[in-house]
Chains A and B, each alone.
Chain A
Amino acid sequence: MAIEVRIPTILRSFTGGAKSVEGSGATIEELIADLDSRHSGLRDRLVDEQGLRRFVNVYLNDEDVRFLGGLTAPVSDGDTVTVLPAVAGGAR
């Protein structure tokens, strides 16, 4: 089962420069674990003890996975997952 995962510039050091990689799993959590088995360290940049890191956006097709249950969101063959670092900041 193949799910395309699009990797942002800042995380391509984990994928040997690749803009997109393939992975498998039944949920976002399993997919990230699968990716980490080949791209060690990637999981740590996406997930912490609380779940998805607050300033990382993960999208399943056209939806933010936060609206789909976060790490437990189901994924299937043919889906596209996009990772984008949130653009954020501020005076404080």
Chain B
Amino acid sequence: MLTISRALLDQIIAHARADHPDEACGVIAGPAGSDLPERFIAMTNAERSPTFYRFDSLEQLAVWREMDDRDEEPVVIYHSHTATEAYPSRTDISYASEPAAHYLLVSTREPDETEVRSYRIVDGAVTEEEVLITDGGEE
């Protein structure tokens, strides 16, 4: 199960809506081992594409180093699908490389309704999980 605050979820949805029809992507960092997403980090989609995303490589290095320095890890890795449902595609599954992360997918295909679903992706196997939204802020 993924537990995430309403405030963080709103930031993810706002990012996905702002970049629509291109896919948006980013990370929510949290203390290593805590499984608690706390720090919202919007990433640049280097592909700027409606059907593909890839973190900008230098930005990723900077963010991963910063997380390392702060003893954090990527608790949530999110991206949007802008014309399809919020379910991992074959591409998503083949490139998933953080077995401890929650892969959060947001679908912006409907203008007034945003579908949000979360998955674990380990060794090519996808498991959907429940998303528990808390009222707390991000701190």
Contacts and interface: CB of A to CB of B under 8 A. Distances in A.
Interface residues of A, number: 20
Given A57-B60, A64-B57, A84-B61, A91 B95 contact: no
Interface string A66-89: 100000000000000010111111
Contacts of B100: 9
Given A9-B100, A84-B64, A89 B57 contact: no
A90 interface: yes
Interface hub of B54, B55, B82, B96 (most chain A Cβ within 10 A): B54
Contact of B61 (A62, A66, A88): A62
B99 A90 contact: no
A85 B74 CA distance: 13
A91 B52 CA distance: 6
A89 B60 contact: no
Nearest to B90: A92
A91 B57 contact: no
A17 to B, nearest CB: 14
A88 B55 contact: yes
Contact of A88 (B27, B50, B53): B53
Contacts of B83: 91
Given A91-B89, A92-B52, A92-B91, A10 B23 contact: no
A87 B63 CA distance: 12
A25 interface: no
Contact of A90 (B23, B58, B60, B96): B23
Given A8-B97, A9-B98, A9-B99, A89 B91 contact: yes
B77 interface: yes
Given A57-B61, A64-B58, A84-B60, A90 B92 contact: yes
Given A10-B99, A89-B96, 10 more contacts: A8-B97, A55-B97, A84-B64, A87-B77, A89-B89, A90-B89, A91-B51, A91-B89, A92-B51, A92-B52
A-B interface, 5 closest residue pairs, ranked by CB to CB distance from nearest: A85-B97, A90-B52, A89-B92, A88-B54, A92-B51
11 contacts: A8-B97, A9-B98, A84-B60, A87-B25, A87-B97, A88-B55, A89-B88, A89-B92, A89-B95, A90-B91, A91-B84
